[in-house]
Amino acid sequence: MRRHLAPALTAAAMAGVLALATPASAVPADKPTVLSSWTQTSSASFNAWAAARGNQARWAAYHFNWSTDYCSSSPDNPFGFPFQTSCARHDFGYRNYKAAGTFSAHKNRLDDAFYADLKRICAQYSGAKKSSCDATAWTYYQAVRVLGVSPENAPAG
């Protein structure tokens, strides 16, 4: 009986060694799928990204870039409208798709997701305040559409 267990134990031990031999820096194969799921125009996509942002340690193996400068040189909360988190998600998409080398293929969707996020914020208001928010959201959207820098147009540095 001992002989029959030895090959099974050896195989199990080898599997354990191979599992431990995986480099700590290995990125899960589904990273592009996760990144895509967090950068869509839907509120579900925004909510999933926000939940992940709140628990970044859970996603550490993916090596996402969570850094942000929020709304860059524009106000993060213009006229009191809370755009800061939407700007952070937009930065997340830009930084991670640039790192993946696929930014150009995703830029328009990232900008559209940003605008969808801003419009959801504005939907909370009514009357003149909603009109003001919508106009501000449109301005921010147009700014990223025109000024959002693709890697091939980025200044050297």
The tens digit of pLDDT for each residue in 85-98 reads 999 999 999 999 99
- CA-angle at 129, arms to 125 and 130, nearest 5°: 50
Write out the two tokens for 125: 């208001």
On the question of pLDDT at 78 being above 60, the answer is yes
Active site residues: 90
On the question of pLDDT at 151 being above 80, the answer is no
- CA-angle at 12, arms to 10 and 18, nearest 5°: 100
The pLDDT value recorded for residue 26 is: 79
Rounding to the nearest 10 degrees, give the CA dihedral for residues 66, 67, 72, 78: 60
Query: 29-150: what fold?
Result: Phospholipase A2 (1.20.90)
Write out the two tokens for 6: 């030895």
pLDDT digits (tens, 9 = 90+) for 100-112: 999 999 999 999 9
pTM beyond 0.85: no
